[in-house]
Amino acid sequence: MNWISIRQKLVEFKYTLARGYMWCQLPTLAVIGAGIIKPYIPFLRFYQLALLAFVIFLFIGYLDQKLGLLDEEQSYATARNPKLLSLFGGRKENDS
């Protein structure tokens, strides 16, 4: 195996791992958040707090999508990446 092939496999592995982590992260954070705020809101059950946190995450994600923040992030990432920038014929932000 050459260096480029190893590098590509490492990037593929990292991407796959990050996607899996992201799928597990939100439900886990909802449970952790529910555990933290449970003492302050004793009248709600633990599962209700976790569900509330999860719904809030979904709502914020919906707002993110509607405001077009992902597109802006991707544009910024492309502008900061010399390889992508050269593919699309763009110039760096601070080039005049």
The answer as to whether 10 is a domain residue is no
C-alpha Rg value of the chain to the nearest Å:
20
pLDDT, residue 91, reads: 58
The model carries a pTM of 0.60
Q: How far apart are the C-alpha atoms of 95 and 77, rounded to whole Å?
A: 16
The answer as to whether 41 is a domain residue is yes
DSSP 81: -
Q: How far apart are the C-alpha atoms of 86 and 16, rounded to whole Å?
A: 26
Mean pLDDT of 53-62: 89
Contact by Cβ (8 Å): 26, 57: yes
Number of compact structural domains in the chain: 1
Where residue 57 falls among pLDDT bands split at 50, 70, 90? Answer: confident
Count the Cβ atoms, other than its own, within 10 Å of residue 30: 20
Share of the chain above pLDDT 90, in %: 27
Q: What domain range is 33 assigned to?
A: 16-87
pLDDT in tens, 32-56: 988 988 999 999 999 999 998 889 8
